[in-house]
Amino acid sequence: MELERLRLLNNPAEDDFVIQCVQGKSKSFLYSHFQSISCKAGLGAIAQPFLNMRRPRSNEVRIKYGPEKESERLGHSERVMRTHYLDLTMDDFTDIVGK
């Protein structure tokens, strides 16, 4: 993984955070800093980066542990999960219509 490689190259004995300067900063600072890193990496601006990183994990936890544990682990209600994070898979559709 690229971040792990970078962490080991820079200071393996240091803190576990690769991007040190953002700890304790505001959400808008984190967003603009992330966009800056993304553009410098040649990826351009990324729409809704934190939501798009959180959504796959939310769905992995929901599939493995169920919606109650997903909400508990990610810190939001089931309603928020269904509104913002729920992505149905082909397996979900297969289960709905029957095999």
In the chain, the amino acid numbered 61 is: V
Which tokens in the block code for residue 54?
């959180």
**pLDDT at position 1:** 63
**pLDDT at position 18:** 55
Give the sign of the dihedral formed by CA 66, CA 71, CA 77, CA 82: negative
Phi, psi of 81 (to 5 degrees): -60, -45
Q: Taking a C-beta distance cutoff of 8 angstroms, is the pair 49, 32 a contact?
A: no
Q: What is the pLDDT along the chain (99 residues), one digit of tens a residue?
A: 676 676 677 665 555 555 666 666 677 788 888 899 889 888 899 888 888 888 888 988 988 998 889 888 888 888 888 888 888 777 777 777 775
Cα-Cα-Cα-Cα dihedral of 1, 26, 13, 73, to 10°? -60
**DSSP-derived 3-state class of residue 14:** coil
